[in-house]
């Protein structure tokens, strides 16, 4: 199901079929909020990723090609030796000698995609970064990054929210909450029990379509 399909499914479930009541853009916003909630509920294996970045000798920062929600490991390799870096804060690094060069020990996040390493590597190095990838909102033509059989969870959660906002007293919102929970439970068993990492996505949906 792509975004247009999810909009149609959400309108059907909620009964809000007229754009005069809710525009497609408003429905899409609720869908994306529900989608991001689902992706944020668990450390889903299909969002795991890693990047390897080269660092020059005495460089202090590196830029990641992908945005990570959080990092689970940073390993720097220099002259055949591996250094597992420990995370600290930018404030802490600012207190230490910024010109020090040697065997790197710490890293801190400066921005979503930039890391600072201390001390700077004394020779050229490569850095392997592992973590949970950030996720982008759905735009026209995009589909959720997980298996299609679980896509309805997004529509059910979105319809529940819309009905609650409209003051639903029909009992449908409670019913849809149950349906959404059922989809989510099956999704957790499918991904977390099997530890399936076959759906890792790197980069944006639009970039992936161009690559295909």
**Beta strand pairing call for 101-102 and 120-121:** parallel
Average pLDDT over residues 188-193: 94
Domain boundary among 133, 162, 179: 133
Are both 68 and 129 inside the same structural domain? yes
Distance CA 22, CA 3 (A): 16
Position 170 scores a pLDDT of: 86
Are both 54 and 124 inside the same structural domain? yes
Are both 123 and 53 inside the same structural domain? yes
Tell me the CB-side half-sphere exposure of residue 111, using CA atoms within 13 A.
8
Average pLDDT over residues 166-180: 90
Strands (E), the chain: 48-55, 61-63, 68-78, 81-84, 86-87, 101-102, 106-109, 114-118, 120-121, 125-133
Residue 168 scores a pLDDT above 70? yes
Model pTM greater than 0.95?
no
φ and ψ at residue 100, rounded to 5 degrees:
-70, 140
Digit-coded pLDDT (tens) for 91-116: 999 999 989 999 999 999 999 999 99
Domain that holds residue 9: 3-45+135-211
Are both 139 and 175 inside the same structural domain? yes
Are both 32 and 96 inside the same structural domain? no
Give how many domains the chain has, as a whole number.
2
Domain boundary among 110, 133, 156: 133
Position 27 scores a pLDDT of: 96
Task: Give the least confident one: 3-12, 66-75, 195-204.
Answer: 195-204
Mapped onto helix, strand or coil, the DSSP state of residue 68 is strand
Are both 26 and 81 inside the same structural domain? no
Interhelix angle 152-165/24-40, nearest 10 degrees: 120
Position 194 scores a pLDDT of: 58
Q: CA nearest 106: which of 77, 74, 134? A: 74
Position 205 scores a pLDDT of: 42
Are both 58 and 156 inside the same structural domain? no
Are both 18 and 29 inside the same structural domain? yes
Are both 169 and 199 inside the same structural domain? yes
Domain boundary among 75, 106, 133: 133
Are both 139 and 41 inside the same structural domain? yes
Are both 125 and 151 inside the same structural domain? no
Q: Following CA atoms 19, 179, 191, 71 in sequence, which dihedral angle do they give, to the nearest 10 degrees?
A: 60
Are both 124 and 155 inside the same structural domain? no
């Amino acid at each position: 199901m792509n975004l247009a399909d999810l909009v149609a499914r959400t309108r059907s479930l909620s009964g809000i079929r007229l754009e005069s009541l809710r525009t497609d853009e408003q429905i899409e916003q609720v869908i994306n909020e529900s989608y991001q909630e689902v992706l944020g509920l668990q450390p889903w294996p299909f969002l795991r990723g890693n990047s390897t970045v080269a660092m020059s000798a005495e460089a202090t920062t590196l830029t990641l090609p992908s945005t990570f929600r959080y990092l689970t490991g940073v390993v720097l390799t220099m002259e055949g030796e591996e250094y597992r870096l420990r995370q600290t804060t930018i404030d802490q690094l600012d207190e230490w000698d910024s010109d020090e060069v040697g065997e790197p020990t710490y890293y801190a996040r400066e921005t979503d995609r930039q890391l600072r390493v201390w001390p700077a590597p004394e020779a050229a190095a490569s850095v392997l970064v592992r973590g949970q990838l950030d996720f982008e909102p759905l735009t026209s033509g995009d589909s959720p990054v997980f298996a299609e059989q679980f896509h309805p969870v997004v529509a059910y959660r979105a319809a529940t929210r819309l009905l609650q906002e409209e003051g639903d007293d029909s009992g449908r919102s409670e019913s849809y909450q149950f349906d959404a929970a059922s989809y989510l439970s099956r999704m957790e068993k499918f991904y977390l029990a099997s530890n399936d990492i076959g759906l890792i996505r790197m980069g944006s949906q639009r970039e992936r379509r161009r690559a295909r």
